[in-house]
Amino acid sequence: MTLPPLTPRIVSWLLLIGLSFFFGLAFEEFHARAHQKRPGGIRSFPLLAIIGGLLYQIDPSPPWLLGVGFLGLNAWLGLYYWHGMAEVQPDGLPNVGLMAPICNSLAFLIGPVAIAGPAWLAIGVTVAGVLLLTARETLHRLAQRIELAEIVNAGRFLLLTGLVLPLLPDRPVTSLTTITPYQVWLAMVAVSTVSYGSYLLRRYVVPNGSGLLVAFLGGIYSSTVTTIVLARRARTNPETRREAQSGIVLANAVMYLRLLIVIALFDRAMALALAPWMAGLALAGAAIALGWYWYDARVASPAPPIEPVANPLGIGTALTFATLFVVVSILAAFVMRRFGSGGVYSLAGIIGVTDINPFVLSLAQHSIGAIPTSVRAAAVLIATSSNNVFQSAYASAYSGGKTGSPPVAGLLVLAAGGLAAAYHLATLTGHP
């Protein structure tokens, strides 16, 4: 005898019961450990979800019965909360919290969501509710660690990405370039997102003094800033010389991966052309850094913490990036028309002394001029090689020579490898 197949509606009801049971189990276990009694739990939540599902099933369009049931439940929960405010715990605080009413309301809504919505939505909402409920202590500790300035910085990030970007026009505003304000800001958002993510990891996840891991994250944030910070640290604390030597090379090796990720967001063909070369250079740099770190381990000593880096977000930083992006885009299109690929390569070598992000992203935009992919890819490699040469100079200058020759030699090797790859790309495609 074969059993009939499960219909989608039966699966939805099974999902409803399973998710509400899981949510109720987490709710009851959490409050049992806290020695608290709150309405809801392993029996109540499935019943609430079933009631919500039934009310939606009876009157789905529009779901008036569901709305009336939800209002009735919240009226009762409001009375519970008002009554709990009058009771006082031994610590002097009211014997009530918002989590119990919110969880009961969410359990009720799991029913119609499981019936009417996609399965991933019901599962995602339930899991999010369980995690937020059970991670109370962890989240409270995190809130205590985060300063008010960091909340303001997060607001800046949301302002730059969610408010300013959609308001900008996606059409050229000058005949000097076909780059649009939307493309300029999108490029800035891409760089800021990568840098901001690295900044948060560096500040709140990675412990101070964790050596090469800090340098790795610093390379994602800014290889130039990391080079200068490590060089200055080696100057004031000679015992950190080994970490500075290896960290400088590693940070600049990570630069290749950071640029490759950002380029892929705008021009996949260009990213694919660069991928084997930039990945190879990143691996070579990592091998040089780790090899020297282990070779020089005989002089290892405890290192003091590295100073926190500055937050990469800010209106001034954004405007500076946007200005450089537009200027470099105009220059790149102009030199290509006037001097051909040789002009672009020369510009790439000059740009390497400064922040190369605007130049690289301007090349990754499709509309800056008729510059072949091979020329743009070779120009990126030239810019990174030029940047590595100047980074080696920064390492020596800011450390007062305390970092010695290893980081200089490692960065020059990466620069030579980048130039060789650029030459190969240019000659292979007929754009020397």
| C-alpha to C-alpha distance for 423 and 427, rounded to whole angstroms | 6
CB contact set of 16 (below 8 Å; sequence gap of 6+): 49, 50, 53, 110, 111, 114, 115, 122
How far apart are the C-alpha atoms of 406 and 244, rounded to whole Å?
A: 10
State the Cα angle at 144 between 140 and 149, rounded to 5°.
130
Give the angle subtended at the CA of 418 by the CAs of 414 and 424, to the nearest 5°: 145
Per-residue pLDDT at 71: 93
Within a 10 A sphere around the Cβ of 167, how many other Cβ atoms?
A: 9
pLDDT at 47: 93
CB atoms within 10 A of CB 432: 13
Q: Please report which confidence band the pLDDT of residue 74 belongs to, taking 50, 70 and 90 as the band edges.
A: confident
Tell me, what's the pLDDT at 309? 57
- State residue 123's pLDDT score: 92
In this structure, which amino acid lies at residue 39?
Answer: P
% of the chain exceeding 90 in pLDDT: 16
List the structure tokens of 300: 């290892």
Which two structure tokens, joined as six digits, stand for 262? Answer: 């950002």
- Residue 301 pLDDT: 47
Binned at pLDDT 50, 70 and 90, residue 48 comes out as very high
The token pair that represents 320 in the structure block: 């500076």
- Tell me the pTM: 0.67
Q: Among 173-177, 261-265, 419-423, name the one with the lowest average pLDDT.
A: 173-177
Give the best-scoring range by mean pLDDT among 23-27, 163-167, 316-320, 398-402. 23-27
Could you give the CA distance from residue 320 to residue 52 in angstroms, rounded to a whole number?
53
What is the structure's pLDDT at 245? 81
Q: Do residues 185 and 168 lie in contact, with contact meaning Cβ atoms separated by under 8 Å?
A: yes
Domain parsing of the chain, residue ranges: 8-143, 148-428
- Report the alpha-carbon distance of residue 241 to residue 258 in Å, rounded: 26
Say yes or no to pLDDT of 85 above 60. Answer: yes
pLDDT tens figures, 118-143 = 889 999 999 999 988 888 777 777 77
CA–CA separation, 305 vs 245, rounded Å?
Answer: 16
Using CA atoms, how far apart are residues 139 and 170, in angstroms rounded to an integer? 40
Alpha-carbon 361 to chain mean position? 18
Query: Cβ neighbours of residue 292 under 8 Å, at least 6 residues apart?
Result: 242, 245, 246, 249, 406, 410
Closest C-alpha to 390, from 338, 426, 355 = 355
For the stretch 253-281, pLDDT in tens is: 988 998 898 888 888 888 898 999 999 99
